[in-house]
């Protein structure tokens, strides 16, 4: 995961956390977080990169809608990153 951009890491986290991770739902979540528009030209190439790296699987829900899910590797990478972050960040609730 160290070789991902921050945006790609955010994409991976959003995909892992959504119940229905399709392109527009992912885009909406990121726009809420970043508080600005996420253009398709930024979103979809980065999703494709996550697929190419084996962190996300891309499927087709219907003829117009792709859906995305984290792979086992993607989930392991998120867990490893969370463990690594926890070594440096103490949360006191």
Checking if the pLDDT of 90 tops 90, the result is no
Q: How confident is the model at residue 2 (pLDDT cuts 50, 70, 90)?
A: confident
- The secondary structure element, H or E, covering residue 57 is strand 56-60
Judge contact between 82 and 16, C-beta under 8 A. no
Q: Is the pTM of this model over 0.95?
A: no
Q: Determine the CATH number of domain 6-88.
A: 1.10.10.10
- Angle at Cα 55 formed by Cα 28 and Cα 51, nearest 5°? 70
How far apart, in Å, are the Cα atoms of 44 and each of 24, 37, 50, 85, 87? 10, 14, 10, 27, 32
What are the residue ranges spanned by the domains of the chain?
6-88
Interval 7-63: pLDDT, tens: 999 999 999 999 989 999 999 999 999 999 999 999 999 999 999 999 999 998 888
Q: Which residues pair with 69 in a beta bridge?
A: 57
Q: Span 1-11, mean pLDDT?
A: 94
**Rounded Cα distance, 58 and 22, in Å:** 9
């Amino acid at each position: 995961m160290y070789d991902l951009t921050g945006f790609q890491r955010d994409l991976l986290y959003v995909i892992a956390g959504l119940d229905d991770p399709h392109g527009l739902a992912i885009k909406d979540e990121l726009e809420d977080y970043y508080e600005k528009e996420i253009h398709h030209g930024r979103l979809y190439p980065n999703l494709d990169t996550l697929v190419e790296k084996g962190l996300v699987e891309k499927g087709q829900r219907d003829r117009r809608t792709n859906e995305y899910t984290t792979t086992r590797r993607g989930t392991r990478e998120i867990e490893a990153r969370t463990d690594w972050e926890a070594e440096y960040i103490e949360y006191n609730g």
